[in-house]
Amino acid sequence: MIVTLIIACEVGFWVLLAGGLSLRYLARMPRTGAAVLLLEPVLELVLLIATAVDLKNGAQADFKHGLAAVYIGFSVGLGHSTIKWVDVRFAHRFAGGPPPVKPPKYGTARAVHEWKTAARWILAAVVAIGLLQAATWYVGDSGDTSTLRGWQTRMLFVVGINLVIALSYTLWPKRPKPGAATESVTADEAGAERPRVYGKR
């Protein structure tokens, strides 16, 4: 049941995203489209409640409960940036919005970009670790929580990998090849801005 619900939430995420952006840009109904996009967190709430109920009813904490916690964590940490990424491209393709800005490639701007990316992944991992810990406490001594602990270890690896990547761009910044054109895009400009609604309302 939990695995099926995770798949349903993932499908629901993209259905709501496509529906919300279509209403916002194609149907010229920005408020209705925004309301549809605001329904996204409801999916994670439903999954969280279902997982808690499943554990309360005596289910053994296993892989699927850990996966549910990780899915919710990554939805929290990466869901908003994913929506913005798709939003900018949808606006450009269907509503005459500006083209997506490519992230910086070199120097401090690239390092800042990598730290921002790492921060989102680390937030996702930390939220997942928190939910896994809550589930562990909820189960208590009455059940085996080794699977949940295993998921926590995986999330610590996610944190470590992202820190190493971001730190590497800070300590050894990437430099353009001699004679290559220098970039004028700053790290802040490279971040996906909340796009406006183009066209008539």
Given this model, what pLDDT does residue 181 score? 55
Model confidence pLDDT, tens digit, residues 76-120? 999 999 999 999 999 999 999 999 999 999 999 999 999 999 999
Model confidence pLDDT, tens digit, residues 28-39? 999 999 999 999
Residues 6+ apart with CB under 8 A from 178: none
Q: What is the DSSP letter of 38?
A: T
In order of 117, 121, 173, 177, 184, the CA distances from 167 in angstroms are 12, 14, 9, 21, 23
Question: What is the percentage of the chain residues whose pLDDT exceeds 90?
Answer: 73
Which has the higher per-residue pLDDT, 80 or 180? 80
Q: What tokens were used for 90?
A: 């949808």
> What is d(CA 112, CA 188) in angstroms, rounded to the nearest whole number?
9
Given this model, what pLDDT does residue 139 score? 84
